[in-house]
Amino acid sequence: MNCNYCEWRCSLTRGEGRCRMYTFKDGVIQEKYPFTWSRCQAEEIEKVPIFHFLPDERILQLGSFNCNASCAYCMNASIAEPQQELATFVLQPEQVVTLAKRGQYKIIHFGINEVTVSLPSALKIAALARQNGILTGCSTNGFLTEEAAAAAAAAFDFFNLSLKSLQDSFYRQHLGLPTVAPVLRNIRYLAQHTHLEITTPITKDNEGEIPALAAWLASVNKKIPWHLFRLLPAHKLEHAAPPAVMTLVNTVTALEDKPYYIYIGNFVGSKWVNTHCRHCGETVITRLSDGACGARLQANYLKQDLCPHCGSRQDIVVEVNKCTA
């Protein structure tokens, strides 16, 4: 029996799969650690980063552990590749939803590690959250199977997908994944079916790919917000120098074929975390980059989703019709 959550499609007949999170038991694929988490914390949606979906909303963020990839520069390696036993806890769907309601969180987000390795748990929580008028979203490396991506797109209200490169060789060398093809396929699918933002961690090894990545994303949909994440040395690349800020800024400034909204973050004081109206250029949202992932919202000048200067509708979700059962 092969696992169908990600494109490794591991055989589970003789034990656990590559991520060590699934097993084949009683004739079905099962999670080894259902509803088991390593993190449950409060965040702001801009820290995911998600900049174009309910700005300034607080999120209840859940993370499990382990991963289906092995990124050389993983910033959460102690959770994605734990070397020793990790402190974990169980929160059933009812408990998560109760926590969210008690804390008045409108959004539950599955992040920290790869959502695919705990997808059945996340989907069950998302279903119960929806019944209770709570939105859900996730962060993913996008290596899901087609069927898992479809199930996730139906369940979650937004995605941040990390596209690291367009090259199979980069995925093999830096992520331990055999190919980028399923990631590109899933981006095309998710862009049509849900709210999608893309993050690309930039190292010196892929900064030359920025123009090609920009053109590819623009060919999918120019409205997809693109977050360039200046990767600081971490994990197996802890001795690698980060890309120079000015190199990134100059490269992005010179782009011709590109998405409308490009953000550059992960360095203190970045001006590239603000949103400008793509029609008149007016700044419609300002954010503060504190040097870590994402940013914090400073001021939102939008009138509903309209530019206060030219009155154009913006590509930002400011309201969601919460679907309840």
**Footprint on residues 22-41 left by ligand SF4 (CB under 6 A):** 22
Q: How many angstroms separate the Cα of 242 from the Cα of each of 13, 117, 204, 232? A: 42, 29, 7, 5
Binding-site size for ligand SF4 (CB under 6 A) equals 14
Q: Which of 5, 24, 35, 171 touches ligand SF4 by CB under 6 A?
A: 5
The answer to whether the CB of 96 falls within 8 A of the CB of 145 is no
Interface stretch with ligand SF4, choices 4-12, 75-83, 247-255, 264-272 (CB under 6 A)? 4-12
The pair of three-digit structure tokens given for residue 324, joined into one six-digit string: 């309840």
Residue closer to ligand SF4, measured from CB, 61 or 141: 141
Q: Is residue 140 within the footprint of ligand SF4 (CB under 6 A)? A: no
Q: Which stretch binds ligand SF4 (CB under 6 A): 8-16, 36-44, 190-198, 234-242?
A: 8-16
Residue 198 makes contact with ligand SF4 by CB under 6 A: no
Q: Name the residue with the smallest CB distance to ligand SF4.
A: 17
Residue 54, classified by CB atoms within 10 Å of its CB into exposed (0-12), middle (13-18) or buried (19+), is: buried
Q: Closer to ligand SF4 by CB, 3 or 284: give it.
A: 3
Smallest separation (angstroms) from ligand SF4 to the CB of 191: 23
What b/e string do you get for 159-183 counting C-beta neighbours within 10 Å, with b at 16 or more? bbbbbbbbeeebbeebbebeebebb
Residue 159 near residue 196 (C-beta atoms within 8 A): yes
Closest approach of Cβ 161 to ligand SF4, in Å? 16
Q: Is 10 in the site for ligand SF4 (CB under 6 A)?
A: yes
Question: Site residues for ligand SF4, window 45-74 (CB under 6 A)?
Answer: 68
Of 189 and 301, the one with the shorter C-beta distance to ligand SF4 is: 189
| 21, 31 Cβ separation under 8 angstroms | yes
Please report, to the nearest 10 degrees, the dihedral formed by the alpha carbons of residues 22, 26, 28, 33 taken in order.
-30
6 counts as binding ligand SF4 under rule CB under 6 A: yes
Q: Does 152 bind ligand SF4 (CB under 6 A)?
A: no
Q: Give CA–CA dist 212/222, Å, rounded.
A: 14
313 part of the interface to ligand SF4, by CB under 6 A: no
Among residues 30 and 132, whose Cβ is nearest to ligand SF4?
30
Among 113, 116, 162, 186, binds ligand SF4 (CB under 6 A): 116
1-9, 31-39, 44-52, 91-99 -> range binding ligand SF4 (CB under 6 A): 1-9
Nearest one of 169, 109, 174, 165 to 140, comparing CA atoms: 109
Sheet containing 58-63: order of strands: 39-44, 58-63, 107-110, 135-140, 158-162, 195-202, 226-230, 262-265
When the beta carbons of 176 and 211 are compared against ligand SF4, the nearer one is 176
User: Please, which contacts does 27-32 make with residues 24 or more away whose CB atoms are closer than 8 Å?
Assistant: 29/1, 29/3, 29/4, 29/5, 31/118, 31/120, 31/121
Nearer to ligand SF4, 2 or 219 (CB): 2
**Given the rule CB under 6 A, which residues bind ligand SF4?**
3, 5-6, 8-10, 17-19, 21-22, 68, 116-117
